[in-house]
Amino acid sequence: MPVFANPLGLVALLGIPAVLAIHFLQRKARELPVSTLFLLDHTRREAASGRRFERLIPSIPLWMQLLAVLLLAWLLAEPRYRKSGSIQRVAIVMDSSASMSVFKNEALARLMKQLPELQGAATEIQLTVLESAPNRPRLHAGSSIEELEAALDKWRPRDGPIDPTQALRLARSLVSRDGTVLYLTDTPAGPLPFEARLLAVGKPMANAGFTGVSFATEEGALVWRALVKNHSAKAIERTWSVLTKTGSTQPRPLYLEPGALVTLQAAFPKDAENVRLVLSPDRFPLDDVLPLVAPKPKPLVLFAATSPAFAGLAEKLLRALDAAESSKDAASADLSIASYNPLDPALPSGNTIVFVEDETRTGAWLKGGIVAEAHPLMDGLNWQSLLARETIQLDRQPTDTVLLWQDKRPLIFLRESNGIRQLHFNFDPTLSNAEKQPAFIVLLHRFAESIRAEKIAGVCENLETGQPLTVTAAPGIPLSVTAADASGTPFPKSTILDPQSAISDPGFLTIRQGDKTLLTAAVHFADPREADFSACASSDPEEMGSTAAFERHTRPDPLWRVWMLVLLAALMVSWKFTSRSLQTA
């Protein structure tokens, strides 16, 4: 079956009706009164009469001209034949942003419709389907359209906005220069790199949904505050209600002005399970539900029974830290605050913040430049206004990590061994302006939170979909992850649940280690960029110069010279008969 390099050449077939029309007009019967009809009846009747079309049949110029038109159309259309075994490689990058979930079916239909064009003249198409999110496994690789449909049917886009450049680069490298890269998205934005073609399937639509939640304690009661945003340019009326495992509240109307951000709040129902806020549904359901759990951070037990000089500082720190508890037992505390006294140099063995306590209080101001080392605890902190006096110094070990220098004196260093972290302040904060330094306060908080993060304890959190998780667990014991959707229906066991990140759909997540529950989380979708469909648009892939690919997959008609000669012969025969008939006339 030939394919045409220039299908527009087939327009020349319009010459057929043109030729027929010309012949019909030329052969249009002239009306003539004749008194000798009985003599005409003596001639051969079959040659002298007949229907108009039948009278065209014996016209040799007509047939020659029709043949010429056919041959001309054939030659102009540049017929080519497919080479056996030719393969067109096509890499499709699917925009894995969550907004694509709305247009998924349309996207698949448009893609299937586009495949024949992508295959072009090749006898086979080799498909590779990637997600725009980097480091994801391929959705599909092969030539089977059915398998492609099955793979894409299972595909569930849940990511945020992702720059497809990396995926397009990978796609281009997979199909080489001769292949085709297609980026399927709902939000076209600018020209694509790597000669990728754009297939946009979105369209602007109104949407409103939850964009976040926070908790506060008011009058001893836990109160949730949820933000609802209208992402569209027109007002929306919705209803909202609170659902639990045992019941729900009456739906309440919610009127949202264009672009409005509304806060809903209520007391968190005590001892309720599967608590969730639900908006009346729309086309984008991900942000219509907000699962909730009462947040409960890991408790941090602080032992602050140290020198009275630092009691005030310890008390401030205790108040400032979330879920911090004071303890009189240093052995069971998560974090201790200790002062270093050269007369009694013994320090707690656990996680400790160590200050120098210099009772002489006569040291001179330290001089020299203050330099902070690059360390996560010190990131972004400004210590230049720190004034500290010369004091006795802590015993620094070679393995300690100095965080802050003044001249050649380490002011702060970190000691880590066997999972124990100790933050040493090699100066007396009470003889300095450290307490007035934001960097000092932040550093103490960072250190305390790092201790809390390393603590193996249960925590209740409200997370966003796909949010990375940091779960501290005991080594050697596997974690078990269970999850359920917002209504509490567990996800299938076949679903691979990753303890490194939250589930991608709104719901509830639990991570256990043995009998111990490490994380109880409610996961909600709260990406306003994906919930805003105002930039969605639709477009077909623009035609790319595929002449090289077309010629690579096909070979020209070997008889085109013959057709050319036949065309010339037909024209000459037609011309000869036409001129003869003119002379006869």
* Chain residues in the site for other proteins (CB under 8 A): 26-40, 42-44, 47-52, 55, 581, 584-585
Per the structure block, which two tokens stand in for 206?
A: 């109104």
Collapsing DSSP states into helix, strand and coil, what is residue 440?
helix
Least Å from the CB of residue 54 to other proteins: 9
Least Å from the CB of residue 17 to other proteins: 19
Least Å from the CB of residue 65 to other proteins: 17
Pick between residue 38 and residue 319 the one whose CB is nearest to other proteins.
38
Least Å from the CB of residue 577 to other proteins: 12
Least Å from the CB of residue 63 to other proteins: 16
Spatial CA neighbour of 130 closest among 178, 188, 176, 184: 184
Pick between residue 35 and residue 217 the one whose CB is nearest to other proteins.
35
Q: How far apart are CA 198 and CA 99, in angstroms?
A: 17
Contact status, residue 295 vs residue 213, Cβ threshold 8 Å: no
Least Å from the CB of residue 581 to other proteins: 8
Spatial CA neighbour of 163 closest among 193, 139, 141: 193
Q: How far apart are CA 431 and CA 434, in angstroms?
A: 8
Pick between residue 49 and residue 332 the one whose CB is nearest to other proteins.
49
* Alpha-carbon distances of 18 from 13, 24, 25, 27, rounded to whole Å: 9, 10, 10, 14
Spatial CA neighbour of 370 closest among 381, 356, 362, 361: 381
Bridge-based pairing state of the strands 87-94 and 124-131: parallel
Least Å from the CB of residue 27 to other proteins: 5
Pick between residue 46 and residue 344 the one whose CB is nearest to other proteins.
46
DSSP H or E stretch at residue 109: helix 104-119
Least Å from the CB of residue 50 to other proteins: 7
- Output phi, psi for 561, to 5 deg: -70, -40
* Alpha-carbon distances of 40 from 50, 190, 492, 530, rounded to whole Å: 14, 78, 93, 86
Pick between residue 84 and residue 584 the one whose CB is nearest to other proteins.
584
Across 317-350, b (16+ Cβ under 10 Å) vs e yields: bbeebeebeebeebeebbbbbbbbeeeeeebbeb
Pick between residue 30 and residue 154 the one whose CB is nearest to other proteins.
30
Least Å from the CB of residue 571 to other proteins: 22
Least Å from the CB of residue 110 to other proteins: 55
Pick between residue 26 and residue 144 the one whose CB is nearest to other proteins.
26
Least Å from the CB of residue 19 to other proteins: 17
Pick between residue 51 and residue 561 the one whose CB is nearest to other proteins.
51
How many C-beta atoms lie closer than 10 Å to residue 20's C-beta?
Answer: 16
Pick between residue 33 and residue 419 the one whose CB is nearest to other proteins.
33
Q: How far apart are CA 336 and CA 304, in angstroms?
A: 6
Collapsing DSSP states into helix, strand and coil, what is residue 316?
helix
Strand order through the sheet with 516-524: 459-464, 516-524, 507-513, 479-485
Supply the DSSP string of 164-230, one letter for each residue. Answer: THHHHHHHHHHHTTTSEEEEEESS--SPPSTT-EEEEE------EEEEEEEEEEETTEEEEEEEEEE
Q: How far apart are CA 295 and CA 459, in angstroms?
A: 8
Least Å from the CB of residue 579 to other proteins: 14
Contact status, residue 524 vs residue 462, Cβ threshold 8 Å: yes
Per the structure block, which two tokens stand in for 545?
A: 């110069």
Least Å from the CB of residue 88 to other proteins: 54
Supply the DSSP string of 469-512, one letter for each residue. Answer: ------TTS-EEEEEEETTSPBPPTTS---TTB--SSSEEEEEE
* Alpha-carbon distances of 161 from 132, 232, 469, 528, rounded to whole Å: 9, 18, 20, 10
Q: How far apart are CA 422 and CA 350, in angstroms?
A: 8
User: Cα 406 from chain centroid?
Assistant: 47
Least Å from the CB of residue 582 to other proteins: 10
* Alpha-carbon distances of 579 from 25, 59, 297, 583, rounded to whole Å: 17, 13, 102, 6
Collapsing DSSP states into helix, strand and coil, what is residue 354?
strand
Least Å from the CB of residue 62 to other proteins: 13
